[in-house]
Amino acid sequence: MGRVVLVTGVGRDLGRRFARQLAADAAVERVIGVDISPPRGDLGEVSFARADIRNPIIAKVIMREQVDTVVHMSVLPPAAAAPGVSAKEINVIGTMQLLAACQQSPDLEHFVLKSSTAVYGSSSRDPAMFSEDMDARRVGAVGFVKDLNEVEGYVRGFARRRPDVRVTTLRTASVIGPGLNTPLAAYFRLPAIPTVLGFDPRTQFLDDTDLLDVIEHATLRDVAGTFNVAGDGILMLSQAIRRLGRPALPMPSFAMASLGTVMRQARLADFSREQIAFLTYGRGVDTTRMREVLGFEPSRTTAEAFARFAESLEPGVLGERRVRAVETTLHEALGGARARAAALTSAVPGLREGAHDG
Amino acid sequence: MGDAEIIPIGTRGKPGRGTGSSKPSSSARKLAPGPKRRRSPQPAAPADEAVVRSDSESPPVPAPRAPGHAATGDVTGDVTGDVAGDVTGELAGAGERDHRHPERGIPAVDWIAGFTAAAIEVFGDNWEPRLASFLAFLRRRLTGDYAVDDYGFDAEITQRFFLTAIRPVAEKWFRVEVRGAENIPATGGALMVSNHSGTIPMDGLMTGLAVHDHAHRFLRPLGADLVFRLPVVSELARKGGVTLACNDDAERMLRSGEIVGVWPEGFKGIGKPYSERYKLQRFGRGGFVSAAIRTGVPIIPTSVVGAEEIYPLVGNIPSLARLLGLPYLPITPFFPLLGPLGLVPLPSKWIIEFGEPIRTDAYDGGSAEDPMLVFNVTDQVRETIQQTLYSLLIQRQSVFG
């Protein structure tokens, strides 16, 4: 008998795409998508249950459908959450209720949590690369970092209470891809990109197809544990902005906070406190365990994932083609000058001879 | 030039108040003798003649030596090439154009010749390929087409910019003398442990340069978290290969075969008063030794003489330093008394000696947890550096020698 999988957060584009991709797999019999808001696109074979994970209905769905696998994808940063509901409500309380429902179910065998590398926070005391056994360096983390840590804590508690259930946590780096509407994508779509003056954070990206693949991999393979997932290599934020060909707009960190408030109200981009911390100190995660234990290899490196995203945007004023054109023009003008100078010197004696003849 | 115009001062050659309007203001018109008035007595006929003559000759030869040209100057090339009919009107217009944009009068060929001369001046005889590679370098930097490692280290900018910028300081100002460079391994990881002094970590920069120039490898320094909290400093430090001084980073770097530099005295060493110069402070908790033992890399004791004297620290303002979140706020004989001039380091004579490597590969990994062993190795490293410092001080003739 194939697997019956419950996927939360299918109202979002990534959740919907994942549910469809999973439904197409031969090992999966049924996929049930759950969210408060209905998905915007086509769900295909996935059956959709409009339910709030904070509601006991979810327990009934799990029981009745004899769900053996739960993929929890609706832990989201505040900006991506549905408007009008506090992100903490959905993230923390929602996870608690979902886990309570899972604990009741005798059929459940696998639980996969899509977390984020944001769980490590960002600070000046961070090591260059976080591995899975490290914690956020700043005690008293706030906002989404705190939420994520609490969510992961609940999931660990659940794993202790139900040792028969295989629990896998994926801490994924910033997901990026064409057409994807994440807070980070909105940030890179700004015509001039605000950065924190005097800081150049390190960033890692994960291609959106790789994100879907890794969750599918973790859902179907029987590997338990916590794994960092990111594309290979590092891009500095300044480098990423240059690759987009957009001008950077450095501003002091205190101005960044007030700009963030304005931007959030104008719904342009997310500049929450943890986002500003990330734009200041950056973050890198070690993906050795992803390769060696989970056995997953992302198809695109950080740079390739970002390049794929950059292609979907219009090049900025400092786009590569333009810079290349300027370089060629300059080079030809100067190189051409030498050729002309050489022609002149060879021509001048001839001229003089002509004058003598005359 | 016959048509040397009188350019009102402070208007960048434009008439009026530099508003950019094509018409000069009335006061400016009164002041400046207009080009029209001087040009109107010019007879049109000679210019016409010149045009006819130049037309009859081959085109590239500029129509020279016509009497009318003394007044019309550079723009005549255009004028003669253009319509010959209304020469005076054309001249007046050209005169005004010329007046507003003097650079238009310089032909493009002259500009290019100027650039070429400048390029030869800067890049030498073999300038063309070098200029091309320089342009390609600029383009790659502008479009972000370069790679950094996991720590944000940008080898290209470090080698081509940072090290090049501090090399003259090392050679001409501090006259750094490097000894024992053969002790730096050519391959594989190594931990370079050095004394720390000089109010600002200039000794780190100089040691990094010495390692690059003598062993052709990059030194990867470990920095305090303050380095990563300060704007600009943090950005430059990451690009220059610095990472946070913690065991995770140190061991990761050593395992990947880098030369890691550590200054275990930290702020106690760099911010100690001048009266305590060349007295090593406590060597932290020996974390660097356990990192070396765990990874089995040699420890290279490095002694730097000369850095103590660049900014003699005679005072400190602890209260203000606390307010700013800094470990100390230095007062030197010249800073803040002379302001920015006080920031110029004193030109002391430097000697950097890389000592004989202390091997740690004989210990097994568990020894890193043995506090007695770690303390013993720490003391051995500290004693070696202290003794080398004393002998180097004896050999140095004078502070500025």
Residue B95 · residue B36 · CB < 8 Å: yes
Mean pLDDT calculated for residue range B112-121 = 78
Unique residue bearing structure tokens 């003798």: B33
Residue B192: band (very low, low, confident or very high) from pLDDT cuts 50, 70, 90: very high
- B91 min Cα distance to partner chain A (Å): 31
What pLDDT was estimated at residue A150?
A: 93
CB contact under 8 A, B248 and A318: no
Query: In chain B, which residues have their Cβ closer than 8 Å to the Cβ of A200?
Result: 152, 234-235, 238-239
B244/A284 CB distance under 8 A: no
Asked if B3 and B95 count as a contact pair (C-beta separation under 8 A), the reply is yes
Q: What is the pLDDT of residue A54?
A: 83
Chain B contacts in chain A segment 302-331 (CB below 8 A) = 303, 318, 320, 323-324, 327, 330-331
List the one residue out of B267, B262, B164, B269 whose CA is nearest residue B221. B262
Across the range B303-326, mean pLDDT stands at 91
Residue B126: what pLDDT?
Answer: 77
Q: Is the pLDDT of residue B58 over 70?
A: no
Average per-residue pLDDT for chain B: 80
Q: Is B146 on the interface with A (CB under 8 A)?
A: yes
pLDDT in tens, B289-314: 999 999 999 999 999 999 999 999 98
Contacts of A279 (CB under 8 A, 6+ apart): A195, A196, A199, A201, A237, A256
Give the least confident one: A86-90, B10-14, B200-204, B389-393.
B10-14
Q: What pLDDT sits at residue B69?
A: 44
Q: Could you tell me which residues are beta bridge partners of residue A114? A: A170
Report residue A142's pLDDT band, with 50, 70 and 90 as the boundaries.
confident
Q: In this complex, which of B142, B150, B232 lies closest to A284 when CB atoms are compared?
A: B150
pTM of structure: 0.79
User: What residues pair up with A228 in beta bridges, in sequence order?
Assistant: A171
pLDDT grade for B325, boundaries at 50, 70 and 90: confident
DSSP designation for B7:
P
Torsion from C-alpha of A273, A274, A280, A286, nearest 10 degrees? 180
Q: Is any Cβ of chain B less than 8 angstroms from the Cβ of A347?
A: no
Closest partner CB to A338 (pick from B128, B150, B252): B128
Among A236, A245, A320, select the one facing B148 at the smallest CB separation.
A236
CA count, 13 A, side-chain hemisphere, B275: 2
* Percentage of residues of chain A with pLDDT beyond 90: 61
Taking the CA of residue B325 and the nearest CA in chain A, the distance in Å comes to 14
Which pair of structure tokens corresponds to residue A102?
Answer: 């899972």
A294 DSSP 8-state letter: I
Looking at the DSSP bridge assignments, the partners of residue B187 are none
Which is more confident, B188 or A264? Answer: B188
Residue bearing the bigger pLDDT, B106 or B6: B106
Q: Does B70 touch chain A (CB under 8 A)?
A: no
Q: Which residues pair with B300 in a beta bridge?
A: B192
Selected residues 24-43 of chain A with any CB under 8 Å from a CB in chain B: none
When CB atoms are compared, the residue of B131, B150, B252 closest to A234 is B150
Alpha-carbon separation of residue A233 from A283, A295, A349, B119 (angstroms): 12, 18, 60, 37
Across A169-191, average pLDDT: 91
On whether the CB atoms of residues B281 and B322 are closer than 8 A, the answer is no
- If you ran DSSP here, which 8-state letter would residue B148 be given? B
pLDDT at A138 exceeding the cut of 80? no
pLDDT over threshold 70, residue B21? no
Look at residue B19 in the predicted model and tell me its pLDDT: 55
Kindly report the nearest CA distance between residue B103 and chain A, in angstroms: 18
Q: How wide is the angle at C-alpha A134 spanned by C-alphas A133 and A140, nearest 5°?
A: 135
Comparing CB atoms, the residue among A252, A284, A323 nearest residue B139 is: A323
- CB-based contact (8 Å) between A240 and chain B? yes
Residue B364 pLDDT level (bands cut at 50, 70, 90): confident
The answer for B188, left when phi > 0, alpha when psi is -120 to 50, beta otherwise, is left
pLDDT score at B304: 96
**Confidence band of B114 (pLDDT split at 50, 70, 90):** confident
> Are the C-beta atoms of residues A249 and A193 closer than 8 Å to each other?
yes
Contacts of B252 in chain A (CB under 8 A): 127-129
pLDDT of residue A195: 94
CA angle A297, A301, A307 (to 5 degrees): 145
Identify whether B330 is preceded by a cis peptide bond (ω within 30 of 0): no
- Interface membership of A198 toward B (CB under 8 Å): yes
How does strand B177-179 pair with strand A248-251?
unpaired
Query: pLDDT at position A126, please?
Result: 92
Put simply, whether B165 touches A (Cβ < 8 Å) is no
Closest A-chain CA to B154: A236
Chain B's closest residue to A131, CA to CA, is: B248
ipTM for the assembly: 0.84
**Cβ–Cβ contact A282 with B under 8 A:** yes
Spatial CA neighbour of A195 closest among A156, A148, A144, A253? A253
Angle subtended by helix axes A57-64 and A94-104, to nearest 10: 40
> Nearest 10 degrees: CA dihedral of A146, A149, A152, A154?
-70
- The percent of residues above 70 in pLDDT, for chain A, comes to 89
**Which one of B112, B225, B234 has the shortest CB-CB distance to A333?**
B112
Whether chain B has a CB inside 8 Å of the CB on A340: the answer is: yes
Q: Is the pLDDT of residue B278 over 50?
A: yes
Q: What is the pLDDT of residues A46-105, one digit of tens each?
A: 999 998 888 888 999 999 999 999 999 988 887 655 555 677 888 899 999 999 999 999
Out of A326-330, A342-346, B36-40, B241-245, pick the least confident. B36-40
Nearest CA in chain A to B150: A234
Phi, psi of A328 (to 5 degrees): -65, -45
What confidence score (pLDDT) does residue B117 get? 82
Residue B113 has pLDDT above 90, yes or no: no
Q: Which of A204, A242, A246 to mutate to test the interface with B (most CBs of B within 10 A)?
A: A242
Question: What 3-state class would DSSP assign to A49?
Answer: strand
Q: When comparing pLDDT for B286 and B218, which is higher?
A: B218
Instruction: Suggest the residue from A132, A200, A256, A280 to mutate for an interface test with chain B (most B CBs closer than 10 A).
Output: A200
Nearest to B244 among A125, A236, A252 (CB): A125
Helix (H) or strand (E) holding A296: none
Would you say residue A201 has pLDDT above 80? Answer: yes
What is the reported pLDDT for B40?
Answer: 47
User: Would you mind telling me the total number of residues written for chain B in this entry?
Assistant: 401
Q: Does B229 touch chain A (CB under 8 A)?
A: yes
**Whole-number Å distance between alpha carbons of A219 and B234:** 40
Return the minimum-mean-pLDDT range out of A137-146, A169-178, B86-95: B86-95
Q: Which tokens sit at A214? A: 């890794």
The larger pLDDT score, comparing residue B25 to residue B299, is at B299
Q: Is B38 exposed, middle or buried (0-12, 13-18, 19+ CB in 10 A)?
A: middle
Task: Give the residue with greater pLDDT, B76 vs B354.
Answer: B354
Q: A134: which chain B residues are within 8 Å (Cβ-Cβ)?
A: 248
CA of B163 vs chain A CAs: smallest distance (Å) = 20
Q: Which residue, among A138, A234, A328, would best test binding to B if mutated, counting the most B CBs under 10 Å from its CB?
A: A234
Q: What is the pLDDT of residue B75?
A: 42
Separation in Å, CA of B194 to nearest CA in chain A: 22
The span from the CA of B141 to the CA of A313, in Å, is 21
Are A129 and B150 within 8 A, CB to CB? yes
Q: Which of B142, B145, B234 faces A199 most closely, judged by CB atoms?
A: B234
Token pair 């960002």 in the structure block, residue: A122
Residue A358 CA, distance from chain mean position: 79
Pick the range with the lowest mean pLDDT from A73-77, A193-197, B89-93, B201-205: B89-93
Q: How many interchain CB pairs under 8 A, A with B?
A: 123
Residue B337, both tokens = 């008394």
pLDDT category of residue A301 using cuts at 50, 70 and 90: very high
* Residues of chain B positioned with their CB less than 8 A from the CB of A330: 135
B/e letters for A132-145, b = 16+ CB within 10 Å, e = fewer, are beeebbbeebebbb
pLDDT band at residue B83 under the 50/70/90 scheme: very low
Distance (Å, whole) CA A215 – CA A219: 6
Instruction: Inform me whether the C-beta atom of residue A131 falls under 8 Å from chain B C-beta atoms.
Output: yes
